[in-house]
Amino acid sequence: METRPLIFDCDPGQDDAISLMMALSPPRDGQAALDIRAITVTAGNTTLNKCQRNARMIAQICAQNGGSKNIPIFAGCASPLHYPLATAEEVHGIEGLDGIEIFEPDVPLQDEHAVDAIIRLCRELDEVVLVPTGPLTNIATALTRAPDIASKISELVLMGGARREAGNITPSAEFNIYVDPHAAEIVFNANIPKTVFSLDVTHIALIQDSHVNRIEALQTPLSGILTKMLRSGYAEYDRAKFGTSGTPIHDACTAAYLFRPELFDFRKVSVQVETQSPISRGHTSVDFWGMTDRQKDTHWAIDVDQAEFFDLMIKCISAYAKT
């Protein structure tokens, strides 16, 4: 289980919300809680204003039900580095969290900009792990403004990209990378170890109705909220689009990895990002077979133990308070 200090960078989004629910879950089975120092937010699945509110909502719901408390939340970049913002309300709903009752949370938004917070925390701490599950704008901006922080980041654990599974927003691009390919290029070119959960693996870990029934059967306030989210238009959208029996919970792979990295199989690769072509914008060129002499600094997830993955997710949710 991960013991290094963590910064979650997200754009909630149902799958970001589930990742946070897992990451913020109470200690269980003798394990300590993850050492999350901050949640930073970027625009992506919806606008920055809605994404930061959604992150604070999820943090408040988790804290009220026994999860980690008092984790500072920072709003970051409202648009990509060069392209206009593309969002995904057709997937996640107009508020970015279809299936949940929207409210204005009491959890405060910090005054400090997320990019400044990332830079400050990386300079203050050692062996920081950044966990981005949205477009990489905040991370790339921090690395550009403060190149010195790269040496303080021990790992980037991110959801994004596609190789075998092609794209989910264009024929060859995954949404997070498509939204800000210039940011992704900066991040993938950074001299930092990277662990990547692309559509190649998230389309293996498909949540089924049987899993949702198990979550509902927990009969806790948080499991009830999550059940509604998993039975919302989010699930129906992906099943209809991809013709699958289940729904990918993309960003939850990052949280699962932090708890149990052995659930995944990886290939060590190098990755380049297409930024200019209007046809292949956001395409991730993965050197799977070592065709180039580029440094192989990326662990690209290629498989996951589906049964154990969902057992872990449900254990995390079951750890929350029952009343």
Please give the positions annotated as active site: 250
CA-closest candidate to residue 71, choices 152, 5, 14, 167: 5
Burial of 165 (0-12, 13-18, 19+ CB in 10 A): middle
DSSP string across 226-245: HHHHHTSHHHHHHHHHHT-S
Answer yes or no: are the C-beta atoms of 256 and 313 closer than 8 Å.
yes
Cβ-proximal residues to 60 (8 Å cutoff; 6+ apart), any chain: 105, 106, 107
Dihedral sign from CA coordinates of 133, 121, 155, 28: negative
d(CA 247, CA 270): 28
Between CA 154 and CA 162, with CA 158 as vertex, the angle to 5 degrees is 135
